[in-house]
Amino acid sequence: MAQLVLIIEDEKDLLVTLEYNLKREGYRTRTATTGREALLAALGTETPDVVLLDLMLPDMPGTEVCRRLRENERTRRMPIVMLTAKTDEVDRVVGFEVGADDYVAKPFSIRELLLRVRAILRRAQPVSQEESGQAHQLGRLAIDVAAHRAWVDKEEVSLTALEFRLLRTLLERRGRVQTREALLTDVWEMSPEVTTRTVDTHVKRVRQKLGVAGSYIETLRGVGYRFIEAVRDDSTSGSERP
């Protein structure tokens, strides 16, 4: 089925133009003109593949819509492109802070926007489609370092940037013990407010999120953590085989 684009824009002319052009490119579209409508549409039965989000909506700021979509498990990873007349660096930063993936300043060319949409959808391809070829498979865990994404048994695991960095660091040094102090230096870059206890808390959370693959991270009591050297063959028995 064609990919679904949710267009959130209160300027009717622009909304119609966007809808027309996206449909012509073969996408399916859904539209919303307020933040409320947008949230209902995005959280409805079918999660959009990408969202175009106007920053200035009549009932709530686009940044608020973005924030709420990021809080919901189903839409946490959904690509969001912000559309705005504001080009200030401040607004751009706010957009990224609330989790926008890209930013297009009005007036923009439709052609440029379509290119961005296509690029963002390509980046968001699930690993099973093997578009990027960057995903490493370790037993039941798959990880795409460039895309900052991880999957267990083909089910995506939602990790924060920090959790992902922690997992990646352990993975890159698999088979070798990483002390809490080393992890603090490399993952947290020595923020003065964090303690070794923080490392434990985060490892625990990453393990929980990885579920069956959580056991790949071993604890060496009093020392630190280690990603296991080799994932045994039988650990993949629960997942599909080609």
Q: Which runs of E-coded beta strand occur in the chain?
A: 4-8, 28-32, 50-54, 80-84, 102-105, 135-138, 141-144, 149-152, 155-157, 178-179, 217-220, 224-227
Q: Looking at beta carbons only, is 67 or 118 nearer to Ca ion?
A: 67
Closest CB 38 distance from Ca ion, rounded Å: 12
Please say which residue, 32 or 159, places its beta carbon nearer to Ca ion: 32
Cβ-count burial of 24 within 10 angstroms (0-12 exposed, 13-18 middle, 19+ buried)? exposed
- On the question of a cis peptide bond just before residue 242, with omega within 30 degrees of 0, the verdict is no
CB of 150 to Ca ion, least distance (A): 36
Residue number of the CB atom closest to Ca ion: 56
Q: Which is nearer to Ca ion, 10 or 156 (CB)?
A: 10
Min dist CB 39 to Ca ion, Å, is 16
Q: Which is nearer to Ca ion, 87 or 125 (CB)?
A: 87
Smallest distance from Ca ion to CB 45, Å:
26
Contact positions vs Ca ion (CB under 5 A): 10, 54, 56
In the bound state with Ca ion, the residue whose beta carbon lies nearer, of 56 and 105, is: 56
Q: How far is the CB of 113 from Ca ion (least distance, A)?
A: 15
Q: Which of 181, 179, 141, 184 is nearest to 162 (CA)?
A: 184
